């Protein structure tokens, strides 16, 4: 790679975190991806500001004020997940008005996954909805950064930067390696008002971190399954992860930590990490509480016991469905028995489980939804989240769907069973309410199957929510529910930005 300071355009860059107005509470977890990019820029001596618009209702006025007070700032770097795009588009338009000479750079999951799908359409020679979506981004921004952002940002800052910087290629020198992941600085949390974010794990003040990047599985509903920067695992050493936890505790006093890794137990060093976290607490003379995600079929009693010793009292797992047919159709690689065993293993170790469930997969019917309801009542999770899936760009459901001939309707077919999922095309720059509606009756579905209409999916979801909570005694607190989309749509990523997951666009946990 060339020296990072070579031909970088001089002047300050302002990194912008867009609002996430679809969340009931935006001040839960800070955007770690953007703060990772800020950290590498800061270490390289690039002057920068971070403008955190999370939870800011009049964010356009804030942007205008910033431009007035900082007329010399001509570089703006934005990150966006798919659900944030309507607000990100408004930010871009506002900056064009307030600072016409500005150069706007967009990175993050949305542009990366749109570009991935766009390249497939180019290869097939059939331009379609991904091409239209990519052309919108191309017209709106001066530089598009796809994939890991920590090194690609320096290319984006060059005066002669190309329009598209594709770091989402394993062959690219900008693609994150294990060694560079380890060597990069921790997120620059000091550049935001971290204490304005509020979250607790069992009463312990908490914040988030990401220990490893990527998820190797290929679930049909999950974003980035064919994008290397979200598909390929990149690891840090146990010592490096533990040092970040220790630094956060020392600098900010946090004793609660949410691991936003896709699946903690994909890491072969997971038990060693748990043991090291236990040792850290013993050396500090304090106790921590942790929370994170596991893959059910990989979960073992040894892992559960090590996690409990380390301070895990809650786990989350994307069980998704109680129907064997639906688990097959989503390519989950976990069986109903695997999921039940995971729940039992965690409970036996003294760890509570939040079951992440979803409706609206290919072949979904009244019977498969009933299977999910019955499984929840039988296994008795301590909390749960049931959502209607969204076909984000970068999900196999989106990337492999074809036009039906009816305007704006696409169809994905799972080839092993022939079950189908229909999707209503959306303009991501305008529509965000598809991501997750208000749990108190504000849901909308933009998918349907051969057996259930969008309205029927919404009704079934609501009925399931009420019945499970009533029969299992799980209270529903609308002030806490879905504080961040804790479910699996796979748009967290690691480079540019944190979010959604699965852990996504991905998708903030609620105790």
What pTM was estimated for this model as a whole? 0.89
d(CA 382, CA 377) in angstroms, rounded, equals 11
Strands 143-147 and 352-359: unpaired
Task: Provide the 3-class DSSP secondary structure of residue 69.
Answer: helix
Compute the Cα dihedral for 470, 360, 233, 117 and give only its sign. negative
User: Do 50 and 38 form a contact (C-beta atoms < 8 A)?
Assistant: yes
Residue 186 DSSP one-character state: P
Compute the Cα dihedral for 216, 218, 219, 225 and give only its sign. positive
Nearest to 215 by CA among 423, 500, 417, 508: 500
User: Do 411 and 421 form a contact (C-beta atoms < 8 A)?
Assistant: yes
Digit-by-digit pLDDT tens for the chain (511 residues) are: 445 545 566 689 999 999 987 666 778 888 999 999 999 999 999 999 999 999 898 999 999 999 999 999 999 999 999 889 999 999 999 999 999 999 999 999 999 999 999 999 999 999 999 999 999 999 999 999 999 999 999 999 999 999 999 999 999 999 999 999 999 999 999 999 999 998 999 999 999 999 999 999 999 998 888 888 898 999 999 999 999 999 999 999 999 999 999 899 999 999 999 999 999 999 999 999 999 999 999 999 999 999 999 999 999 999 999 999 999 999 999 999 999 999 999 999 999 999 999 999 999 999 999 999 999 999 999 999 999 998 988 899 999 999 999 999 999 999 999 999 999 998 888 876 555 555 555 678 999 999 999 999 999 999 999 999 999 999 975 443 333 334 444 444 333 222 222 222 222 222 2
Q: In what order do the strands lie in the sheet with 447-448?
A: 402-403, 409-413, 420-424, 447-448
User: Do 177 and 151 form a contact (C-beta atoms < 8 A)?
Assistant: no
In 119-278, beta strands by DSSP E: 143-147, 164-167, 200-201, 204-209, 212-213, 234-235, 256-259
Would you state the pLDDT for residue 490? 47
d(CA 289, CA 255) in angstroms, rounded, equals 6
**What residues have CB less than 8 Å from 376, skipping those under 6 apart?**
322, 355, 357, 384, 464, 468, 472
**H and E: helices and strands count for the chain:** 16, 19
User: Do 266 and 251 form a contact (C-beta atoms < 8 A)?
Assistant: no
């Amino acid at each position: 790679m060339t020296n990072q300071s070579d031909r970088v355009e001089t002047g300050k860059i302002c990194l912008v975190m867009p609002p996430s107005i679809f969340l009931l509470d935006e001040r839960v977890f800070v955007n770690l991806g953007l703060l990772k990019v800020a950290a590498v820029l800061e270490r390289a001596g690039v002057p920068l500001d971070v403008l955190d618009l999370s939870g800011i209702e009049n964010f356009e006025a804030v942007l205008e004020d910033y431009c007035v007070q900082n007329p010399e700032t001509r570089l703006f770097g934005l990150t966006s997940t798919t659900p944030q795009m309507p607000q990100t588009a408004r930010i871009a338009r506002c900056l064009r008005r307030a600072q016409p000479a500005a150069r706007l750079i967009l990175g993050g999951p949305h542009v990366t996954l749109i570009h991935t799908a766009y390249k497939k359409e180019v290869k097939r020679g059939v331009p379609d909805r991904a091409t239209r979506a990519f052309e919108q981004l191309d017209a709106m921004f001066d530089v598009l950064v796809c994939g890991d952002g920590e090194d690609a940002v320096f290319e984006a800052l060059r005066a002669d930067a190309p329009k598209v910087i594709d770091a989402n290629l394993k062959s690219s020198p900008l693609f994150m390696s294990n060694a560079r992941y380890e060597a990069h600085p921790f997120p620059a949390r000091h550049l935001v008002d971290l204490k304005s974010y509020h979250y607790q794990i069992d009463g312990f003040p908490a914040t988030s971190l990401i220990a490893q990047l990527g998820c190797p599985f290929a679930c049909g509903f999950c974003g980035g399954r064919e994008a290397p920067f979200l598909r390929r695992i990149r690891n840090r050493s146990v010592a490096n992860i533990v040092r970040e936890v220790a630094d956060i505790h020392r600098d900010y006093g946090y004793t609660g930590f949410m691991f936003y890794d896709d699946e903690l137990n994909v890491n072969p060093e997971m038990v060693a990490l748990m043991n090291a976290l236990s040792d850290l607490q013993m050396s500090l003379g304090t106790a921590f509480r942790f929370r994170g995600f596991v893959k059910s079929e990989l979960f073992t009693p040894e892992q559960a016991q090590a996690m409990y010793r380390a301070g895990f009292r809650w786990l989350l797992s994307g069980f998704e469905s109680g129907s064997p047919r639906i688990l097959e159709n989503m390519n989950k690689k976990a069986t109903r028995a695997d999921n039940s065993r995971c729940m039992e293993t965690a409970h036996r170790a003294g760890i509570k489980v939040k079951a992440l469930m979803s409706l609206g997969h290919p072949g979904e019917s009244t019977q498969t939804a009933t299977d999910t309801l019955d499984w929840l009542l039988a296994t008795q999770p301590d909390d749960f989240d049931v959502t209607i899936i969204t076909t984000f760009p970068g999900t196999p459901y989106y990337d492999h769907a074809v036009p039906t001939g009816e305007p704006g309707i696409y169809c994905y077919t799972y080839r092993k069973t022939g079950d189908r999922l229909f999707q209503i095309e959306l303009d991501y720059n305008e529509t965000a309410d598809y991501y997750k509606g208000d749990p108190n009756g504000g849901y909308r579905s933009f998918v349907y199957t051969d057996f259930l209409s969008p309205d029927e999916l919404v009704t079934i979801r609501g009925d399931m929510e009420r019945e499970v909570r009533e029969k299992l005694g799980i209270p529903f607190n609308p002030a806490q529910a879905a504080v961040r989309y804790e479910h699996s749509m796979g748009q967290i990523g690691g480079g540019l930005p944190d979010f959604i997951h699965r852990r996504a666009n991905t998708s903030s946990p609620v105790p």
